[in-house]
Chain A
Amino acid sequence: MAIIKTENLTHLYSVGTPFEKAAIKDVNIEIEKGEFVGVIGHTGSGKSTLIQHLNGLLKPSSGKIFIDGQDIWQDKSKLRQIRFKVGLVFQYPEYQLFEETVYKDIAFGPKNMGLSDDEIDRRIRETAKLVGIDDDILEKSPFELSGGQMRRVAIAGVMAMEPEILILDEPTAGLDPEGRNSILGQIELYHRNTGSTVLLVSHSMEDIAKYAGKILVMNNAGVYCYDDANKVFRMAEEMSKMGLAVPQIARVANTLREKGFDIGEDVYTVTQAKAGIMNLLSD
């Protein structure tokens, strides 16, 4: 059974005024448990609106959302439980830090869940280790940290809730390449360690190509397609019409195929391309 399912999900802004506009319209998706999904689409395509529906922060104008088969708006009092199940990391999450120490800030989510102190402590230490926050940083004020460290702490704050579904909205925006790679690697690690479902919203095709198994393409307030990464990256032409570019490597592979060189099926990362080309040359 799909862990995330939406049925004709529609969200309208400014209802009843001349400015009424659908942010998302008739979205039907089914995401299986344990997937790593890359969500792409240009600005205004409805990505952020969609993900804020998945943990009940936004109420749909019409349509339904099922998490684990349960309609999340059926019982409003259970909405908070849904938010513990579906962890959402916003864009620039370092703005949400507020506690005196990093330790207390990461504890905010788990505390709201009503866990025991021992369990909270275990989770904090585990996630801090996962995102590369040393023990001595845990006792520092979050406002003393560097931008990259603050980002990690904020992400750890959500991860410590150990959500079954982790959604991240552009978690690497504004970071240097090294910081980007390490944060994405830590998300991948969380995905592997916990077997959770991860939705990663990103502008960077390269990032998505490297980590995501499936890709959800949003366009014009709706889902353009939801398919395996290699299939999506084959549609270079359709993607560029939407103002999206497939990863560089996928473009090279597509052109090679057009020219009659059989480079293989799934080629969209450097490693895959290397293997494909080596194969081609040795033949």
Chain B
Amino acid sequence: MIKDITIGQYFPGKSIIHRIDPRYKIIITMLFIVMLFSAKSFYSLPIGVLYITFAILISRIPIKIVLKGIKPIIPIIIFTAVLNLFFIGGEPLFKIWIIKITADGIKMSIFMIVRIIFLIMGTSLLTYTTSPVALTDALERLMSPLKKVKFPVHELAMMMTIALRFIPTLIEETDKIMSAQKARGADMETGGLISRAKALIPILIPLFVSAFKRAEELALAMECRCYHGGEGRTRMKQLHASLIDYIALSFTLVCTSLVFAINIIF
């Protein structure tokens, strides 16, 4: 059902990964992506793989959930793998009709499969272990240098926080409206494309109306509490880097350098 949709799901916990400062976690995730995609040999790729496996293990996020996140992108993985397998030039290993398979092609497609799978695992580990609020907070801080060029960093972060906050609310509301219209005999399961699209009107209009109403109420409530944007605003929860963050960052840096070193040596 519609309630099963999970976007950027967060699994609360107390593991070391959960406790890393979100700012550091974002930087570490970026470093990890660099690590994964700059690995060019069979000696350096396993570093990224082991790195994320280790991170998942200590985060205590059930492996089942991590694997479930991979499921929707399986078609993309297969597509990229096939593309790489057949269209990378070089010395052909064997040739059937016009299809030729090269050693480089095989290597490239294995690399791409591994990279995509672990890219998804790594980035979803970030959302699994960081609450949306902490995440946007960290983004705001990381992007704060952009304020110098008049980029509305705080406003953007606030918009993201609000959007994330209202996803479950809107899903619940859609469910409710759908039930109410079904009770009035709305038919959403049968008919052609046009009649199905038409059947969405009784759901979308009330949904939009209530979303706008909510937005207005929220704006009013914020104004009543004297909200006026980022200027001079302080925080209840201050982010402080601690020993874990330094250790995690240094560990990631070491792994990334190792990948670069192996790339140069081999």
Contact = CB atoms under 8 A, between A and B. Distances in A.
Whether chains A and B associate is yes
3 A-B pairs with the lowest CB-CB distances in the bound complex, closest first? A112-B185, A98-B205, A96-B180
A83 interface: yes
Contacts of B265: none
B176 A90 contact: yes
A113 interface: yes
Given A98-B206, A143-B209, A57 B182 contact: yes
Contacts of A52: 179
Contacts of B202: 96, 98, 108
B183 interface: yes
B227 to A, nearest CB: 27
Contacts of B177: 95-96
A83 B206 contact: no
Contact of A95 (B182, B183, B210): B210
A108 B206 contact: no
Nearest to A143: B209
16 contacts: A52-B179, A57-B179, A80-B185, A80-B187, A83-B185, A87-B183, A88-B183, A89-B183, A90-B176, A95-B173, A96-B177, A98-B201, A108-B181, A108-B185, A108-B202, A161-B184
Interface of B: 173, 176-177, 179-187, 201-202, 205-206, 209-210
Given A98-B201, A158-B184, A90 B206 contact: no
A95 B184 contact: no
Given A83-B182, A87-B183, A95-B173, 17 more contacts: A52-B179, A55-B183, A57-B179, A83-B183, A90-B176, A93-B180, A95-B177, A95-B180, A95-B210, A96-B181, A108-B202, A112-B187, A113-B185, A157-B184, A158-B183, A158-B184, A161-B185
A52 B182 CA distance: 11
A89 B205 CA distance: 19
A108 B184 contact: yes
A57 B185 CA distance: 11
A143 B209 CA distance: 9
B173 to A, nearest CB: 8
Interface of A: 52, 55, 57, 80, 83-84, 87-90, 93, 95-98, 108-109, 112-113, 143, 157-158, 161
A112 B184 contact: yes
Contacts of B183: 55, 57, 83, 87-90, 158
A158 B185 CA distance: 10
A143 B210 CA distance: 11
B179 A95 contact: no
A62 B180 CA distance: 24
B185 A96 contact: no
A188 to B, nearest CB: 21
Nearest to B182: A57
Contacts of A112: 184-187
Contacts of A158: 183-184
A100 to B, nearest CB: 10
B185 A95 contact: no
Nearest to A80: B185
Contacts of A55: 183
Contacts of B173: 95
Contacts of A87: 183
A48 to B, nearest CB: 10
Contacts of A98: 201-202, 205-206, 209
B180 to A, nearest CB: 4
A89 B179 CA distance: 10
A161 B185 CA distance: 9
User: For A84, A93, A96, which residue has the most chain B Cβ atoms within 10 angstroms?
Assistant: A96
Nearest to B210: A95
A189 to B, nearest CB: 21
Contacts of B205: 98
Contacts of B182: 57, 83
Given A52-B179, A90-B176, A90-B179, A97 B206 contact: yes
B185 A84 contact: yes
A96 B205 CA distance: 9
B187 A95 contact: no
A113 B179 CA distance: 17
B133 to A, nearest CB: 23
Contacts of A143: 209
Contacts of A95: 173, 176-177, 180, 206, 210
A97 B202 CA distance: 8
Contacts of B179: 52, 57, 90
Contacts of B176: 90, 95
A95 B169 CA distance: 14
Nearest to A163: B183
B185 A90 contact: no
